[in-house]
Amino acid sequence: MASVISVTPYIVVRGGEAAIAFYKAAFDASEIFRMTDPSDGRIGHAELRIGDSVIMLSDEYPDFGAVGPDAIGGTPVTLHLSTTAVDADVARAAAEGATVLRAAANQSFGERSALVLDPFGHRWMLSQTIETVSPKEMQRRWNEEAGA
């Protein structure tokens, strides 16, 4: 039997204090707590609540291998943010400094989604359910779109 309880994203950023301010403004995050490195003021660990989820973050600590996306040429990971108002949330994120990589659009799998890059190099897919679609129907639609 598995002993796993949950999975929580832990992101590393260059500029932890600014990142926390961005996530509060762009994604309505609330700060649970932070620990500040007494030697240099970096964020050693912080926890934020976004909706009913928690993310953890820290400033870069290259000596421990903790580096942000910019230090390694970008990120292969996308964080998925479920929302009830994707267009407004994308606009708010962009107004706070996110780059819109893909504008909000209705998808065949029943979501209206957009992709943004935050100022710290992390990709976020903002997505709103607009239709309940079964996995079988999702596959049928994808096949149809691909001409299969």
pLDDT value of position 3: 87
Query: What stretches in the chain show pLDDT beneath 50?
Result: none
pLDDT of residue 1: 65
Domain assignment of residue 52, yes or no: yes
Residue 2 lies in a domain: no
Do residues 126 and 104 lie in contact, with contact meaning Cβ atoms separated by under 8 Å? yes
- Domain membership of residue 1 (yes or no) is no
Residue 140 structure tokens: 């049928």
What is the extent of the structural domain holding 61? 10-146
> What is d(CA 110, CA 132) in angstroms, rounded to the nearest whole number?
6
- 3 found inside a domain: no
Q: Work out how many domains the chain is built from and give that number.
A: 1
Report the side by side order of strands in the sheet with 123-129: 78-82, 123-129, 111-117, 99-106
Answer yes or no: are the C-beta atoms of 69 and 122 closer than 8 Å. Answer: yes
Question: Looking at residue 116, which CATH number applies to its domain?
Answer: 3.10.180.10
**3-class DSSP state for residue 87?**
helix
Query: What does the alpha-carbon distance between residue 16 and residue 37 come to, in Å, rounded to a whole number?
Result: 11
Q: In this structure, what token pair is assigned to residue 144?
A: 């149809």
pTM listed for this prediction: 0.91
The type of residue at 28 is D
The pLDDT score that the predictor gives to residue 19 is 97
Question: Does some domain include residue 5?
Answer: no
Tell me what pLDDT residue 4 has.
83
